[in-house]
Amino acid sequence: MDITFLGTGGSVPTTKRNTVSFALRLGPEVLLFDCGEGTQRQLMASSVSFMRISRIFVTHHHGDHFLGLPGLIQSMNFYGRTAPLEIYGPSDTASLVRDILGLGVFDLKYEVVGHDLLPGDRVVGEGYAVDAIRAKHTVPSLGYVFQEDDRPGRFDPQKATSLGVREGPDFSRLVQGESVKVGDSSVSPSMVMGAPRKGFRLVYSGDTAPCDELRRAAVGADVLVHEATVSSDLKEKAMEFGHSTAKDAAELAMEVGAGTLYLVHISGRYEDPAPLLEEAAGIFSKTVIPNDLDTFVLRPEQKFS
């Protein structure tokens, strides 16, 4: 499982930062969160296959969060996509998607479906769920909580060997939940698997001023992707436009005990994001300001688990 930041800038693109989007790669499936203008070109420059995107979660209808959709949808069509594409967002997303499908001249050969989500709605995928939460912005805006299903415990190969199981296909059978024969007796998965492991939790703020709903949702986040449009000397401006400062984001990460904080939606006024990083890392040391196209492994693939 990994995350690729495709765009990390806020409001308008700069030569260094494209508008907001990141991809969450879950094995063969890719979830996209927000889709600023030019996201498809960022995808092509990354190792993420855009044809594998199954679902796109848009936080709100400001252009810097969705204007990449028309081009991406048409390029997927050009490359022969047949799998349906689901696009989620706040109220009026279904009609926004219909409008996008009516732009220009092209013959759509796959299904693109827009869905309106309300805060509290849940989208269930294979092995995960994504919950919509209410953000506090100048227009209806959602944050998202990606929650992976809990996973089986870790396989203990030494234990299995000590019980007489031979390394090879029998190891895989045990991991997949089957018992295996050893001589006259059998070894069951419960004898060689540890306690179930909590699934991964990633919380994305979208554009928002600090708010209670996000605070509640962020509890237990392994990763918090939070907007930090400006530094705290511009706090009043941030509040006026429904945004957060780097300090706000770091305080939230600290309060909820997040694993890692990634700051995005960095205003174009910061050619160098060092002031934002300094401000946030002074409060929450595990803060990262990713550059466009940075990929971070969230969990390495493990043999036998």
Just list the catalytic residues. Answer: 64
Torsion of CA 39, 200, 294, 80, to 10 degrees: -40
Query: What is the closest distance, in whole angstroms, from the C-beta atom of residue 243 to Zn ion in the complex?
Result: 8
Query: What is the closest distance, in whole angstroms, from the C-beta atom of residue 23 to Zn ion in the complex?
Result: 18
**Residue number with CB closer to Zn ion (207 or 292):** 207
Query: What is the closest distance, in whole angstroms, from the C-beta atom of residue 55 to Zn ion in the complex?
Result: 20
Query: What is the closest distance, in whole angstroms, from the C-beta atom of residue 180 to Zn ion in the complex?
Result: 53
**Residue number with CB closer to Zn ion (62 or 201):** 62
Query: What is the closest distance, in whole angstroms, from the C-beta atom of residue 244 to Zn ion in the complex?
Result: 11
Q: Which two tokens stand for residue 236?
A: 């009043």
| Residue pair 26/49 in contact by the 8 Å Cβ criterion | no
What residues make contact with Zn ion under the rule CB under 5 A? Answer: 62, 64, 207
Strand partners, 5: 22
Query: Comparing C-alpha atoms, which of 50, 219, 51 is closest to residue 131?
Result: 219
**Residue number with CB closer to Zn ion (4 or 208):** 208
**Residue number with CB closer to Zn ion (8 or 74):** 8
Q: Which two tokens stand for residue 304?
A: 């036998």
Q: CA 290, 298, 222, 241 torsion: positive or negative?
A: positive
**Residue number with CB closer to Zn ion (62 or 81):** 62
**Residue number with CB closer to Zn ion (62 or 226):** 62
**Which DSSP string do the residues of 54-94 spell out, in sequence order?**
EEEE---SSHHHHTTHHHHHHHHHHTT--S-EEEEESTTHH
Query: What is the closest distance, in whole angstroms, from the C-beta atom of residue 37 to Zn ion in the complex?
Result: 12
Angle between helices 246-256 and 274-281 (to 10 degrees): 30
Angle made by CA atoms 93, 217, 236, in degrees to the nearest 5: 80
Query: What is the closest distance, in whole angstroms, from the C-beta atom of residue 45 to Zn ion in the complex?
Result: 21
**Residue number with CB closer to Zn ion (152 or 268):** 268
Q: Which two tokens stand for residue 164?
A: 């007489």
Q: Label residues 250-285 b or e (16+ Cβ within 10 Å = b).
A: bbbbbebebebbbbbbbbeebeebeebbebbbebbe
Q: What residues contact residue 70 under an 8 Å CB cut-off, 6+ apart? A: 100, 103, 104
| Residue pair 289/277 in contact by the 8 Å Cβ criterion | yes
Scanning the chain, the segments in alpha helix (DSSP H) are 39-45, 63-66, 69-78, 93-101, 157-162, 169-175, 189-192, 212-217, 235-240, 246-256, 274-281
